Amino acid sequence: EDKVVQSPLSLVVHEGDTVTLNCSYEVTNFRSLLWYKQEKKAPTFLFMLTSSGIEKKSGRLSSILDKKELFSILNITATQTGDSAVYLCAALTGGGNKLTFGTGTQLKVEL
Amino acid sequence: KAGVTQTPRYLIKTRGQQVTLSCSPISGHRSVSWYQQTPGQGLQFLFEYFSETQRNKGNFPGRFSGRQFSNSRSEMNVSTLELGDSALYLCASSLVGYGETQYFGPGTRLLVL
């Protein structure tokens, strides 16, 4: 059975801190690893990673994939209260568009 | 460009009833996937439709079904509702459903009493 595990489950930091969120996966027919941010409702897309070792960046967020060790990390630098959300990672597998999600990391950024 | 829309946004049903949820993808998108989100199980894949055909299916009982129309709009149906079906149902659309980014709708919150 496909499995995606995220850690930590929750995290409380202060504004300005740097955080690292972890995602490991054990799936068959792996194609890509995706990160989403979910605040109140719909998950919003952050990154899609397909190749190992290539960092993707968007502002203060960055992510990298290690296909040998089967994990990915999401870094957020200089955190802001607006970064408070659940961060989800998901493995895209097989043909089509099936995503297997982890349970998410709840991040709270305090002043 | 309008995003993914889902109707209704909230729904209350009783056990044993059935329910139909609707999803309109982003214009031009032909793949629609459905997910169930609960506090205990997180986001779980239900099924994916492309060109009116079910292409992938998750591990849900046969009470959960779906379909897609020629304009790519999709519906999912849950028959004989159980308390455990209370969840946020999300749909996501993408261009052709082969590894491109999936964009999620706001979801339908279903409460089964």
Q: State the distance between the two ends of chain A, measured CA to CA, in whole angstroms.
A: 41
Provide the token pair at B78: 């849950």
Is A40 in CB contact (< 8 Å) with chain B?
no
The percentage of chain A sitting over the pLDDT mark of 70, rounded to a whole number, equals 100
A88 interaction partners in chain B (CB closer than 8 Å): 42-43
- Which residue from B minimizes the CA distance to A90? B43
Provide the token pair at A45: 């897309």
Q: DSSP string spanning chain B?
A: ----EEE-SEEEE-TT--EEEEEEPPTT--EEEEEEEETTTEEEEEEEEETTEEEEE-S--TTEEEEE-TTS-EEEEE-S--GGG-EEEEEEEESSSSSSPPEE---EEEEE-
Cβ pair A45:B103 closer than 8 A: yes
Is B94 in CB contact (< 8 Å) with chain A?
yes
Q: Measure in Å the smallest separation between the Cα of A44 and chain B Cα atoms.
A: 7
Neighbours of A89 (CB within 10 A): 31
Helices (H) and strands (E) in chain A, counts: 0, 11
Is A74 in CB contact (< 8 Å) with chain B?
no
Question: Residue A11 in 3-state DSSP?
Answer: strand
Q: pLDDT for A33-74, tens place per residue?
A: 999 999 987 899 999 999 888 899 999 999 999 989 999 999
Q: State the distance between the two ends of chain B, measured CA to CA, in whole angstroms.
A: 37
Instruction: Name residues of chain B where pLDDT drops below 50.
Output: none
Is B74 in CB contact (< 8 Å) with chain A?
no
Across the range A82-107, mean pLDDT stands at 92
B90 interaction partners in chain A (CB closer than 8 Å): 42-43
The percentage of chain A sitting over the pLDDT mark of 90, rounded to a whole number, equals 83
